[in-house]
Amino acid sequence: MKRTFPAIVTTAEMQAIEGAMFNAGFPVPALMEKVGQRLSDFLQREFPRARYPHVGVLAGPGHNGGDALVVARELWHRGYGVKVWQPFERLKPLTADHARYARFLGLPFVAAVDSLQAVDLIVDGLFGFGLERELTGDLADAIAQITTWRQPRVSIDVPSGLHSDTGAVLGTAIQADRTLCLGLWKRGLLVEEAQPWVGQGLLIPFDIPAAVIEAALATAPRRYCLDASCWQQLPLARSPITHKYQQGQLLLIGGSAQFGGSIVLSALAARCTGVGMLVVAVPQSLKSLVLSRVPDAIVVGCPETARGAIARLPESLDLGKFSAIACGPGLTPEAVPVVETLLRTGRSLVLDADALNILATLSPWPLLSPVILTPHYGEFRRLFPDLVTTGGDRLAQVTAAASRSNAIVLLKGARTAIASPRGDLWINPHSTPALARGGSGDVLTGLIGGLVAQQEALSATYCGVWWHAQAGIQAEREATSLGVYPEQLIAHLLPTLQAALTARV
């Protein structure tokens, strides 16, 4: 079944998509009403009246404000106490109609924003993707005031003040706890730097015909948001008559006297993927440690340097028999010959950590395909320094990096982005800062290595990213953000997958 993730769009692309729907006969008021109902349903579910009886609605001059006024009216009908702050005289006609009807119903419109300070929930409908210039003056002051209040803030479509394409703050912006993005993910909401304003992003679909999206994005670079359809890919299919040699062979290379644990974490994660054969190459002195922690792996002791890094891979190690090779965790920058050897194999490579730092010192780079690079931003900066200095946000940088290097580039972060050499982009909108700790990356390397050993590289990469983040979110739910240390993360991999499959049935 062809899996299509939700597209990520620019403002212009969204306007083209909406325009196509309107041109096909779908009335603008109908869309606003539909969206308003869905927003109200979400708010009523997530912020029940018993706990959040009083709602303050910020209504802007455009259709974002129109959406907000539909929500105000609907929550009013559903028994909430609603107050509206609409600091604009000139309104778009549809928005003006909704304001007029809300007043007709008797919804109180407050003159000053501080009349909303005591409400239980703020709904932000000041601006959406139509924001054109910086927010200044009284409006900026009001937003600064709201930011100091304690109640949760939910933004409609885009946090007001945030640029929906770049994620840049135009003067000032609402810091939302939740952003309910309408129809399709706006690109600016997925930019790393915008996360403090976006809060938890959630897509509120409104049944855009797939053909309309395809037509509008036909010539655009494909940008996708990962979602639960990644689970359709896992666990990887197994024939009833399979055997271990048909389920992929992964070679993991890493470890050093200085960093002995990383490669163990990668190996423990890799075996969760069901990979048929797991071989771990480490410095000779680490061999017994790894065997004691991963008895199902074949552990190869390598010649080591005086400082305990892998000096070279043993001649006896036939690299050609592996369907994937993952290298880097705990490797140390000393193991240059190892990376140089791997780059000549033409095997599917996953390069992480010090394998990336070593790659950054090699020049020129050989053709990196099929290679997956999994840098965090510091490693990315060493690999592609000019891309970082020539500006553009990380999404633009990682796309350029993949096209230049001909590798799949996975840029880790709050919104991990995966770019393909063709220029396509996948972003994971759901993760947790609890994963920001040593060892999380080693787990991801093992997961991706194990999946790449069994299936094509791109879907293995984004499924690994999704699975890794979902396990982290689940571990945090059960043991707070402090409980997401790497071994707990690994312990949650299979139960999280199982729970997803059970929910899917």
Would you list which residues are annotated within the binding site for K(+)?
64, 124, 160
> Which tokens sit at 189?
């909401």
Strands of the 153-156 sheet, one edge to the other: 109-110, 81-85, 54-59, 121-125, 153-156, 178-182, 200-204
Q: What does 63 bind: ligand LP7C6HRI, K ion, none (CB cut-off 5 to 8 Å by kind)? A: ligand LP7C6HRI
Angle ∠(176,181,187) on CA atoms, nearest 5: 95
Nearer Cβ to K ion (164/420): 164
User: Taking the CA of residue 245 as centre, how many other CA atoms within 13 Å lie in the half-sphere pointing to its CB?
Assistant: 1
> Which tokens sit at 241?
């008559």
In 3-state terms, what secondary structure has residue 209?
A: coil
Instruction: Choose which of 40, 151, 155, 175 interacts with K ion (CB under 5 A).
Output: 155
Residue 441, C-beta contacts closer than 8 angstroms, at least 6 positions apart:
329, 352, 353, 374, 376, 412
Nearer Cβ to ligand LP7C6HRI (97/340): 97
Nearer Cβ to ligand LP7C6HRI (88/377): 88
Instruction: Choose which of 56, 128, 261, 308 interacts with ligand LP7C6HRI (CB under 6 A).
Output: 128
| DSSP state, residue 69 | H
> From the CB of 201, what's the least distance to ligand LP7C6HRI, in Å?
14
Which residue, among 204, 223, 203, has the nearest Cα to 213 in the 3D structure? Answer: 223
Residues 440/443/448/453 CA torsion (nearest 10 deg) = 170
User: Taking the CA of residue 15 as centre, how many other CA atoms within 13 Å lie in the half-sphere pointing to its CB?
Assistant: 9
37 contacts 155 by C-beta, under 8 angstroms: no
| Site track 228-257 with K ion (rule: CB under 5 A), x = hit | ------------------------------
Considering the rule CB under 5 A, would residue 156 count as an interface residue with K ion? yes
Considering the rule CB under 6 A, would residue 447 count as an interface residue with ligand LP7C6HRI? no
Instruction: Choose which of 62, 261, 370, 450 interacts with ligand LP7C6HRI (CB under 6 A).
Output: 62
Considering the rule CB under 5 A, would residue 172 count as an interface residue with K ion? no
Q: What does 393 bind: K ion, ligand LP7C6HRI, none (CB cut-off 5 to 8 Å by kind)? A: none
Rg (CA), the chain: 25
> From the CB of 166, what's the least distance to ligand LP7C6HRI, in Å?
15
> From the CB of 432, what's the least distance to K ion, in Å?
24
Which residue, among 317, 323, 315, has the nearest Cα to 298 in the 3D structure? Answer: 317
Cα–Cα distance between 344 and 342 in angstroms, integer?
Answer: 5
| Site track 107-146 with K ion (rule: CB under 5 A), x = hit | -----------------x----------------------
Question: Which positions from 64 through 93 interact with ligand LP7C6HRI, judged by CB under 6 A?
Answer: 64-67, 92
Question: Which positions from 130 through 159 interact with ligand LP7C6HRI, judged by CB under 6 A?
Answer: 130-133, 135, 156-158
Residues that bind ligand LP7C6HRI (CB under 6 A): 14, 18, 31-32, 35, 60-67, 92, 127-133, 135, 156-158, 182-183
| Site for K ion, rule CB under 5 A | 64, 124, 155-156, 160
